[in-house]
Amino acid sequence: MITAVRTPLEFHGRLAGALAPFVLFLVGVVWLALSGAPDEKGFWPVLLAALALGLALARDRTQYCDVVIEAMGQPIVMLMIMAWLLSGVLGVLLNASGFVEALVWVARKAHVTGAAYVGAAFLICAVVSTSTGTSFGTIMLAGPLLYPAGGGLGAPPAILMGAILAGSTFGDSISPVSDTSIASAGSQLTDIPGTVRARLKYVIPAGFVALLASMVVAGLAPGSSAPAAALGARETAAASITGSPGALPMLLVPLTVITILIRKRHLLEGLFAGIALTLALGVGLGLITPATVLYIDSAAFGAKGLIIDGFSRGVGVSIFTILLVGLVGALQASSSVERVLRWARSTTVSPRRAEVWIVAAVSMAVLLTTHSVVAMLTVGAFTRELGERAGLSAYRRANLLDMTVCTWPFLLPYFLPTILASSASASGSAFGMPRVSPWEVGMANTYAWALAVTVAVIIVTGFGRSEGPD
């Protein structure tokens, strides 16, 4: 991330001092996660405290401040923030049009129950997350619709919520507008469409295995152990959440965005085009009321509407990312970390060994930062230098980063995706569906498990190692 620092940043306590802010950050994040705080805004004070601790431990505080600001102002960070804000608007507009309900309607019309409904939930979330590029948004939009309806259809609660998370994970790993696709390609200085195309041969088989695994596990699990009254409530939920086919034409939106990106146009152009097409179709088909898009609330002395709501959705993760990137930049600039990286560079020679180092480095980074994008930016320069020396293409390096960060955050209970999925399962309480814990949801995420196995297999076998940009 920090490419040019005149002198290494020194901390009192050397490596321990450089890592101390992250220890404070992790303690705060785990505490908030276990307390049930599934919102990035809750992490802001923790990050401010960690930055303040880093400032206190830095030997040259002016240099520390300069390094933090330099890290925050990187072009790729600004690109990520614009992508989050515009994706938030796109997601809110699609949701307002009834896009998710239309997909639920298709599943209902197909009369899917039990294990088949679990598979349908996976596919619906995969479509939504691929369209919007956000796993978080998919969990929050589709979870409260799909989870309650599954009770009366004989879907095991934990397996169903795990399938919803798995489908959301799939879209995050394959969508050209997802933050992980943007960051992985950007960190390796290569194009997004080509990187995603090269990733298909890994993630599509993993997605197919995950879909089958979810359905098999759901078929073997008992459908329900709830009392008769709760089962009656579940039947009512299944009957009431039917959806409508009216928004099926909105499928043109993700197809248009993906087509624009495949033609190697800029990401922001694709997102703006998606927003414009959503508004045109939504208003033209009567799915979105023009007055709800943007209006002035004189009583509240402010502007409101779907566009404002969409931007608001991206604010939390944007500020979280800016603060965390600054914290990581200070760690990267420290002399102690540079010595560790220098040793790692000197010990790696073969392509396979370089890939092991890349996966290990980004795994440690994501476990330390709890943020997929920041983790990839943290080890981006190291991955690029190491991979180039070992003859690994930019596509290969970017895809190893992307697939790795789409595993741990979607499995472990102190990351936002599992916390959000657990929170979304609370929507089923009124219908007799129990809330499942972040741990249960993560362990039932068959796609994240399949992706972890895929990464190990392609490193051992070397499958796809020779493919690279033209």
What pLDDT does residue 1 have?
Answer: 44
pLDDT on residue 39: 64
Q: Are 173 and 402 in contact (CB under 8 A)?
A: yes
What whole-number distance in Å separates Cα of residue 75 and Cα of residue 269? 17
Q: What is the pLDDT of residue 301?
A: 74
Which pLDDT belongs to residue 227?
Answer: 47
Q: Under a CB-based contact definition with an 8 Å cutoff, are residues 170 and 410 in contact?
A: no
* pLDDT at residue number 48: 93
Predicted pLDDT of residue 242? 56
Using DSSP's 3-state secondary structure scheme, residue 296 falls into strand
Q: Taking the chain (470 residues) in consecutive chunks of 10 residues, what is each chunk's mean pLDDT? A: 60 86 85 68 87 92 91 81 82 81 74 85 89 79 77 82 94 88 91 92 95 91 51 52 75 82 77 91 90 82 84 82 85 71 68 92 86 85 88 94 93 82 76 82 95 96 77
Contact 132, 87 (CB under 8 A): yes
CB 307 within 8 A of CB 293: yes
CA distances from 242 to 58, 102, 245, 249, 331 (A): 58, 9, 10, 18, 51
Structure confidence at residue 3 (pLDDT): 43
Enter the tokens of residue 27. Answer: 């303690």
What pLDDT score does 316 carry?
A: 80
Q: Look up tokens 């220098």; give the residue.
A: 342
pLDDT at 90: 83
pLDDT value at position 238?
Answer: 52
Q: Give the three-class secondary structure for 288.
A: coil
| Model pLDDT, residue 281 | 92
Distance between CA atoms of residues 50 and 44, nearest Å: 10
pLDDT at residue number 358: 93
